[in-house]
Amino acid sequence: MRSTWRKVRREAARFESGVLSGLGPANTPVSVRCSPRLDSERRVLLIDDPFPVVPGAASILFHRHDQRLWSLRSCLISGLLIAKGEQWIFRPRRFTPGMGVGGLRSYVRLLVNGRKATNQYLAAAGLPRPKAVWEDVEELLRLAASPELRG
Partner 1 sequence: MLPSIEWKSGRIVIATSIGLPQKVYNIRRRPDVSLLFSEPTGSGLTDPFSVLVEGSAEVSDTLFTSLSQIDDADVRAALDRDALALLRRQPAVGIYASNPVARALMDWYFFRLLVMVTPRRISWGRGNPREWDALDVA
- For residue 79, the Cα-to-chain-centroid distance in whole angstroms is 13
Cα distance between the two ends of the chain: 51
Length of the chain in residues, anyone? 151
Do residues 145 and 137 touch, judged by C-beta distance below 8 A? no
Do residues 80 and 58 touch, judged by C-beta distance below 8 A? yes
Segment interacting with partner 1 (CB under 8 A) among 4-12, 38-46, 80-88, 142-150: 142-150
Q: Does 56 bind partner 1 (CB under 8 A)?
A: no
Task: Out of 6, 37, 42, 114, name the contact with partner 1 by CB under 8 A.
Answer: 114
Task: Out of 57, 83, 123, 140, name the contact with partner 1 by CB under 8 A.
Answer: 140
Q: Does 104 bind partner 1 (CB under 8 A)?
A: no
- Least separation, in Å, of the C-beta of 25 and partner 1? 11
Measured distance CA(90)–CA(7) in Å, rounded: 15
Q: Which is nearer to partner 1, 83 or 137 (CB)?
A: 137
Q: Does 25 bind partner 1 (CB under 8 A)?
A: no
Segment interacting with partner 1 (CB under 8 A) among 2-10, 35-43, 46-54, 87-95: 46-54
Q: Does 122 bind partner 1 (CB under 8 A)?
A: yes
Segment 38-41 long-range contacts (CB within 8 Å, at least 24 positions apart)? 38/9, 38/12, 38/13, 40/5, 40/9
82: β partners: 89
Binding site for partner 1 (CB under 8 A): 19, 21, 24, 28-33, 49-52, 63-70, 111, 113-115, 117-118, 121-122, 125, 127, 130-134, 136-138, 140-141, 143-145, 149-150
